[in-house]
Chain A
Amino acid sequence: MAERRSPLAGFAARFEAAGAGGRLRLAELPFLTQINVRVDPEGRAAGRIGRALGVPLPVEPGGAVRSGDLTVLWLGPDEWLVVGPDEGEDEGDARGPGLRDRLAETAAGTADDHVSVVDVSAQRTTLVVAGARSRDLLAHGCALDLHPRVFGPGRCAQTLLARAQVVLVAREADEFWVLCRASFAGYTAEWLLDAATEYVT
């Protein structure tokens, strides 16, 4: 099997350096499994998918729920992104079917409501932006209110970071995930590193 290369493979050392002051942590979480699910939230299929995930699909706009090592992000009234750990290069055959196949199987056979389950794992990569200054850093390019009372853990949004579309997820008190398109990842990383200039030392 050929080697996978993540969009930000070349940035590890610079991310590391940006954390030197202890107030920021930048890192890529490469190869996370990402499955786009579109389904009527009122239908029976949505219920079955929720049971398979171990948590109901969140219906509150901008909600992000976690179940074990899975995170389910609300992207729209009938659209979710299920994010899970890297399933490796070998298509999951050693560990049984992958997340996409499990969800597709769960959704299958529902004539009453149709479900779209699409593997988008390679569509976006995931950046961790964490640390005491993470909010300040993101505020340079994100117009949303990131105050913990407004955008605390359990919240996500499709928004712009600088000039790139991202999915922003509040993970912990001072930890965010920035899911960005593979083609925009280099721009986004350069932008974040530049924005971090004042917070590095």
Chain B
Amino acid sequence: MTATERPVQADRPGEVLRFRFDGRDYEGRSGDTLAAALLASGVRRVATSVKLGRPRGIFSAGVEEPNALVQVETPFPEPMLPATTVELYDGLVATGLPGKGRLADRPDPARYDSVHAHCDVLVVGAGPAGLMAAAEAARGGARVILADERPEPGGSLLGTAETVDGLPGRRWAAERAAELGGFDDVRVLCRTTVFGHYDDNYVVAVERRTNHLGAAAPATMARERIWRIRARRVVLATGAHERFPAFAGNDLPGVMLAGAARAYVNQYGVRPGRRAVVFTTNDSAYPAALDLAGAGIEIAAIVDVRRAPGEEWARRCAERDIEVRTGHVVRAAVGDGEVAAVSIASEAGGQAREVPADLLLVSGGWTPVVHLFSQAGGALRFDEEIGAFVPGEIRQAVEAAGSARGVPTLSGCLRDGAEAGRRALAAAGFAVPDPAPPPAVEHEPEAAPARHLWLVPPADGADHREHFVDLQRDVTVADVLRATGAGLRSVEHVKRYTTAGTAHDQGRTSGLLTSAITAHALGVDVADLGVTTFRAPYAPVSFAALAGRDRGSLHDPVRVTAMHDRHVDSGALFENVGQWKRPWYYPREGEDMAAAVLRECRAAREDVAMMDASTLGKIDVIGPDAAEFLDRLYTNMMSTLAVGSIRYGVMCRPDGMVFDDGTVIRLADDRFLVTTTTGNAAAVLDWMEEWLQTEWPSLRVHCTSVTEQWATVALVGPRSREVLAGLAPGLAVGNPSFPFMTWRDTEVAGIPARVCRISFSGELAYEINVRSWYGLALWEAVEAAGVTPYGTETMHVLRAEKGYPIIGQDTDGTVTPQDLGMAWVVSKKKPDFIGKRSFGRADTARPDRKQLVGLLPEDTGRLLPEGVHLVEPGGTRPLGHVTSSYRSAALGRTFALALISGGRERIGARLHAAMGAETVPVTVAHHVLYDPEGARRDG
């Protein structure tokens, strides 16, 4: 885009900052926004509109900007920033955007973080009302947070040049904020946009901490910070945004909100034009016109739709020879690509007159910023006096203050803020000190009533295609009329039909106008029609800020066992099991996964192997009723278990479906150690507590998680007894003295240990438990005895060969123990247990239920994918699916487990695995494929 040549305003004070925009070099001043610096550099066309490609300029001086969207290119590309909120820094490079930007194609190197904060009183907005509210709350001893989106406090005072207590407003605000900063429990956050207000006064804000420093930003400092604030009371002093009426050409560069032009003159020393027409519906544009005139901008005319503007303002204009045309309207902004003239006519009709001007200031009144109030659950009501929606009732401890609730004057806002601060203080339980005298302000002329003008009809015969309602979405009055013409009656539907209010600026300047035009078209009152719902975020927030430090290795906790470093050293590859990192397999040089797993399996079946089993959940269940409790929890009988013995058990949900499995170790009459699957440890403890606390409070049982108290090494294979004997000389390891499913306390490798004779592979096997800080030493001692480490993949193969299901892999919440071929684990003797009644249902006895079976592909080298469906040969009806599938060293072939409808009846039958266009023939087998007689478990 080419910038229009205009004179550069080089006479401004401040440090010179160089920047580049759309490929050209410019200079601005410290304290400028990019918009201010562009205006001072004579740049009027900043962007083009998203749909129509019309040139767009700078419309506002703040976050409400709908037009001047830019992309900052350095130090890191960031799209869709309003030029009115980008603080200038030396070396800034930016480009104007055609309505949408481009995301960077590389990761953002900056830090982003978040922090939690708590306060008695949160004040949003550090304008006159917010500063007073915060000051009163702080004076009373409350913990206060004051957050403001701008770089410095002051709000409207920054732009209006009004004085407070005899000081320029900007200085008065800075001094008040500095005083606040002197309190221990007060935090003043500038450059901080509160963008979400949720229940219980949970409020979320983003602080932009180093964006304004450009390349000078320290790398260690988080660029943006998300504040998650809990406030007992919230005062919303969020101010008001100026709005504009719809008239032809109201999107041309050179059309600007009157208050914004005033701010450019007063705050930045920038003249946004040379000759201005001011179009207003209310008194607030008069001081803007006078301030511009004072800065040397010629005011060609003030066009006031009202018959009677404020008398004092009219007089002051007359004193400066500024023409005021009452009862008139601006019919059109005229110009080729930017404002060159303004077409003015009597509202009553008649000939329009074109007045040359390069700037058209508009004021359609001020709309309170009620976004957060509405997000917080507050109701809005239409205020006829200001012609806008203002805060009404709210269920939360929130109130709005100052112009955010329609207070029109500076003195009123200062007083209102102070009162809100005092009310918040009292409500938060603090003693309220005597009121301080209100700050003195300049004489405030008596205001004349505003006229609520929404639409200047086009000249005879013209349409509404250049009457813009939403500048950012290129929505015109014609679009709204098409929506209502199509029968839409709800402003929510009109929003979705036209996209008005859905852009980056969330309709900050256009929302009310859209409602008003819709109401006008429907012939209803805008007060009854309402506005669209306000939702978070109030302003765009980058994903990087929301992600914060939860990225990369800190994205989610990585849980590791005490032996983890050793697994890493051994070259293990890891599998994620929940948040745990478990060794998957330990490839040796030149081995792929299949080769490594076959080798590890052979070691376990033919020699001796070891696995880190520390991740299994472990729960101490203690109390006189512990045995009774476990009887109710498990499907099988636990109370008959002898001290010193171990039993496998299955837990079901009340629907009879398997929930978890594991072993139960009886440590004493009143003391059991229960193990759970790795992924279900927390869920099982919650399950136990739920039943104890809500259903069986009379049972005298306590449960305590000891998952990480213990590190566990599984020692597996025909030679495991021999290895254990060497490591635990004090332990009688012979089968008669240490039989299957018993445990012994002893020392292994000099470490106090509890050794359990448990097998999850069918082989002779032990699980050696030591306190976890000895886990590494135990692992190294066992490994040094010449034992082959294996990972979860080998564990899966070994257990699958034996038909042992993995809960969550071979089950999915619809599988009973009987379906798994484990009817033996469901007690017929116990009076009750969780799930028992469901086993009496006809559905759980259906013969065509899916049952766990083995599958043997006819091609013994063919590995079935897990999840593949099985059908009858030539059939299409799915009978079930493969749940586990492996290569077996022991079987010398591939095999799978599957849940198949009526599976046990089909043993020996042929099915087809349906793999796309191909079908793979398989034979159904019993789910226990290896050592079905259990000959190997005793070595």
Contact = CB atoms under 8 A, between A and B. Distances in A.
Do A and B pair up? The answer is yes
B559 to A, nearest CB: 4
Contact of B751 (A1, A124, A186): A1
B687 interface: no
Contact of B771 (A122, A198, A200): A122
User: Binding site of B, secondary structure by majority: helix, strand, loop or mixed?
Assistant: mixed
A114 interface: yes
A143 B751 CA distance: 40
A126 interface: no
Contact of A195 (B113, B561, B750, B771): B113
A114 B623 contact: yes
Interface in B552-601: 553-554, 556-562, 565, 580
B115 interface: yes
Nearest to B225: A140
Interface in A83-133: 91, 114, 116, 118-124
Interface in B442-476: none
B556 A124 contact: no
Nearest to A150: B118
Interface stretch (A2-10, A49-57, A60-68, A170-178): A2-10
Nearest to B620: A118
B83 to A, nearest CB: 30
B378 to A, nearest CB: 25
Contacts of A74: none
B203 to A, nearest CB: 13
A3 B778 CA distance: 10
Contacts of A79: 702
B574 to A, nearest CB: 14
Nearest to A199: B220
Taking residues whose C-beta sits less than 8 angstroms from the other chain, chain B's interface range is 35 or more
B846 interface: no
Contact of A197 (B111, B562, B707, B776): B111
A164 interface: yes
B754 to A, nearest CB: 12
A184 B706 contact: no
B118 A7 contact: no
Contact of A6 (B550, B700, B773): B773
A1 B748 CA distance: 10
Nearest to A143: B116
A26 to B, nearest CB: 16
Given A1-B751, A187-B554, A116 B116 contact: no
A140 B113 contact: yes
Given A114-B623, A116-B620, A38 B143 contact: no
Contacts of A186: 558, 560
B521 interface: no
B563 to A, nearest CB: 10
Contact of B777 (A3, A6, A142): A3
A76 B862 CA distance: 55
Contacts of A195: 113, 549
Interface string A180-201: 0111101110110011011011
B670 interface: yes
A4 B220 contact: no
Contacts of B749: 2
Taking residues whose C-beta sits less than 8 angstroms from the other chain, chain A's interface range is 35 or more
B117 interface: yes
A116 B559 contact: no
Contacts of B509: none
Contacts of B143: 147
A122 B772 contact: yes
A122 B709 contact: yes
Nearest to A136: B115
A4 B778 CA distance: 10
B774 interface: yes
B117 A1 contact: no
A174 B912 CA distance: 68
Instruction: Give the most central of B113, B562, B772, B778: most A CB within 10 Å.
Output: B772
Contacts of B111: 197
Given A2-B777, A124-B708, A194 B116 contact: no
A10 B566 CA distance: 13
A194 B113 CA distance: 10
A134 B710 CA distance: 31
B705 interface: yes
Contacts of A181: 559, 707-708
A4 B706 contact: no
A163 B750 contact: no
A123 B702 contact: no
Contact of A114 (B615, B670, B705): B670
A145 interface: yes
A164 B554 CA distance: 11
Nearest to A78: B702
Contacts of A188: 557
Instruction: Give the most central of A2, A31, A186: most B CB within 10 Å.
Output: A2
Nearest to A187: B557
A183 B704 contact: no
Given A2-B751, A118-B620, A197-B111, A31 B773 contact: yes
8 contacts: A2-B751, A5-B774, A7-B562, A119-B709, A139-B115, A139-B116, A163-B550, A182-B562
Interface of B: 111, 113-118, 143, 185, 220-222, 228, 230, 549-550, 553-554, 556-562, 565, 580, 615, 620, 622-624, 670, 700, 702, 704-710, 749-752, 771-778, 781
> 4 tightest A-B contacts by CB?
A2-B777, A116-B702, A183-B559, A145-B118
